[in-house]
Chain A
């Protein structure tokens, strides 16, 4: 009797341990990491209306930085934003809105009017793409540098040094992915795939499935 009980106990333990291993090895559910909280901000958009981090809650937001006087050949930031924006219908988002925000690091020259002209000149679809900045420079540096952990620096002669990276934020205002370098799979492809992974988690992570998604976070089952 005592022995049977022990065998059952070992069996149950073995099943638990093996299923944890199987979960981490085969990764039936993949998620994006919750990296850190995105910064709260209050910027002015190209429409001369305020754009705050609260306006963008409940949807996914892709952030990047640039300045309109960036001499050609500038980075291919706008091309990537446009490619993701035009291919959004490939992603099963299930009605979750996606917004795009390009923050200008040069508020002296990039007034809302200049940004509006710039958006038109690159043919941007401004229905869900915002070009925003703030004249408070130390706040701008805090939002981008400390908040989004993206580097930029005023070189003093009208030129700026900056990293052409992208930051993907979810509907709760949590940073879920960063795109800092040129990868073998194009950044646009990766961003689109990640939007799909995020949307899947939002739609499926309810009831008992939520526990499975939390397990995927705990065991670092991250989508590549």
Chain B
């Protein structure tokens, strides 16, 4: 058997080149987004103790809710929990339009999700970790947030809302 040049159909070759190009294009897009534009990826910040996170008086989730840090700038500490009843604490937040809200979300029991409809905020909420993301609400209206990770039989009733007033 002699060495033979591998025959590739020109149509197939086109697709191979195109898929290789896609890989490079996505790698460049992710790098530009992360380093050039500073787009934040929801990342666990530091480990907290899920057993005491809701009860320790030094922990902000012992008193969850919205804090106005500066005019138009808020911190929202939200606790997701399956015990006793699947819910977010607090269930409803009200901010004026144009506010920028930093969400600090953690769980005191099992894994949950946190997705705010009509925004690009969507992250996992893990016990022992804090997920942080900043969202700017420009348009008035109700933005529901829902649990996106199956967390038990009450998963379907786990939701809340951010009311953006004009």
Contact = CB atoms under 8 A, between A and B. Distances in A.
Interface in A110-151: 141-142, 145-146, 149-151
B138 interface: no
A183 interface: yes
Nearest to B43: A220
Contacts of A224: 46
Nearest to B102: A149
A217 to B, nearest CB: 10
Given A75-B58, A181-B60, A149 B69 contact: yes
B59 interface: yes
A163 B70 contact: no
A182 B59 contact: yes
A214 interface: no
Nearest to A75: B58
Given A146-B70, A151-B67, A153-B67, A184 B47 contact: yes
Contacts of B70: 141-142, 145-146, 149
Contacts, number: 59
Contacts of A151: 67-69, 75
B68 A76 contact: no
B52 to A, nearest CB: 7
Contacts of B47: 183-185
Contacts of B48: 181-184
B143 interface: no
Nearest to B35: A218
A164 interface: yes
B82 interface: no
A73 interface: yes
Contact of B69 (A76, A145, A161, A184): A145
Contacts of B71: 146
Contacts of B52: 182
Interface in B29-77: 35, 46-49, 52-53, 56-61, 67-71, 73, 75
B162 to A, nearest CB: 18
Interface in A163-198: 163-164, 180-185, 190
Interface in B122-141: 128, 130
Contacts of B86: none
Given A142-B70, A145-B70, A184 B57 contact: no
Q: Which of A142, A146, A151 has the most CB of B within 10 A?
A: A151
Contacts of B130: 181
Interface of A: 73, 75-76, 141-142, 145-146, 149-151, 153, 161, 163-164, 180-185, 190, 218, 224
17 contacts: A142-B70, A146-B71, A149-B70, A151-B68, A151-B69, A163-B60, A163-B67, A163-B75, A164-B58, A180-B104, A181-B61, A182-B52, A182-B58, A182-B59, A183-B48, A184-B49, A184-B128
